[in-house]
Amino acid sequence: MKVSFQGEPGAYSEQAVFNYFGKEVETVPCESFDMMFDSVLNGKSDMLLAPIENSLAGSIHQNYDLLLRHDLHIVGEYFLRVRHCLIANPGVKKEDIKKAISHPQALGQCAAYLRNLGIKPETVYDTAGSVKMLKESGARDVAAIASRRAAEIYGMEILEEGIEDNQENFTRFLAVQREATTPESDAKTSIVFSLKNVPGSLFKAMSVFALRDIDLTKIESRPLQGKPWEYLFYIDLIGSLQNETVQRALDHLSEYAVMLRVLGSYPRFKG
């Protein structure tokens, strides 16, 4: 099975692929999130694993928009514990480092650590890509922030591991493919809908779940393109589409929604 991800080999997303699907899968690195979705649509990969939110940095909005844009289905989720490493060329000492390069999210998650060491952060396109760039440059006063796997792939040294400012650093990934699935139990369902901009519309929409004691684990609003100050609402709820209570709630919601789409029904991740 081929699974696409965004980033260079050694990226956290690739580690999530191996953790979730197993070591036997073939990974397909993609330069951008758009290319990652395209690889599934055009059959170059069977599935993709997309980061959708981080416990510290929040949602990855571009992937919410791509889920809506393409006719693909969420079929699973995975939570990855993110451990950042300070990585340098062989023989370099920590006191030699003047600058650290990485993806802006990784730099932000290590901001206090870098500040305490007097290391200047500099943004590049990818965590694993920063290690690749550092190796190619041979710089002795620059470090990269990335995963242990990235350091191993490029033959670099880890000066320190676990440098993130907050240890409760998790990224949630969604497995996406062309065909939908419907688990029978212990599931989540993700939907997106829009509403008329009238008083009480969002309250009525939320009430269809509250009246049936359906647990909502995520609510995200995104601008509705082409209609300023109107919004799409993304919701993750506990329950499968096979559950009659969930189906009745969605039928009820369709009475209020201008647009309603199920993005996927899938097993809940158990860490």
What CATH number is given to the structural domain containing 72? Answer: 3.40.190.10
Q: Say yes or no: 18 and 119 in one domain.
A: no
- Catalytic: which of 33, 37, 127, 171? 171
Q: What is the pLDDT of residues 218-234, one digit of tens each?
A: 999 999 888 888 899 99
| Number of folded domains that form the chain | 3
Dist CA 53 CA 59 (whole Å): 4
Average pLDDT, the chain: 95
User: What pLDDT score was predicted for residue 114?
Assistant: 97
Looking at the chain, the number of H-run helices and the number of E-run strands are 9, 15
Q: Say yes or no: 263 and 191 in one domain.
A: yes
Average pLDDT value for residue range 96-115: 95
| Residue 2 pLDDT grade (very low, low, confident, very high; cuts 50, 70, 90) | very high
- Catalytic: which of 173, 193, 209, 233? 173
- Residue 14 CB coordination number (10 Å): 24
Q: Say yes or no: 62 and 97 in one domain.
A: no
Is 194 part of a structural domain of the chain? Answer: yes
Q: Where are the alpha helices (DSSP H) in the chain?
A: 12-21, 33-41, 61-69, 104-109, 111-117, 127-137, 148-153, 201-210, 244-253
Q: Where are the alpha helices (DSSP H) in 89-190?
A: 104-109, 111-117, 127-137, 148-153
Catalytic site includes residue 173: yes
pLDDT value at 271 more than 80? no
Q: Locate tokens 């997309």: which residue?
A: 50
What CATH number is given to the structural domain containing 224? Answer: 3.30.70.260
Domain span at 247: 187-267
Cβ partners under 8 Å of residue 165, min gap 6: 109, 110, 111, 112, 113
Is 91 part of a structural domain of the chain? Answer: yes
User: What pLDDT score was predicted for residue 224?
Assistant: 87
Cβ partners under 8 Å of residue 118, min gap 6: none
Q: What end-to-end distance do the CA atoms of the chain give, in Å?
A: 23
Is 182 part of a structural domain of the chain? Answer: no
Cβ partners under 8 Å of residue 116, min gap 6: none
Q: What is the pLDDT of residues 150-204, one digit of tens each?
A: 999 999 999 999 999 999 999 999 999 999 998 988 999 999 999 998 999 999 9
User: What pLDDT score was predicted for residue 216?
Assistant: 98
Average pLDDT value for residue range 40-65: 94
User: What pLDDT score was predicted for residue 229?
Assistant: 83
Average pLDDT value for residue range 117-122: 97
User: What pLDDT score was predicted for residue 238?
Assistant: 97
Share of the chain above pLDDT 70, in %: 100
Q: Say yes or no: 9 and 143 in one domain.
A: no
Q: Say yes or no: 100 and 220 in one domain.
A: no
pTM metric for this prediction: 0.92
Catalytic site includes residue 203: no
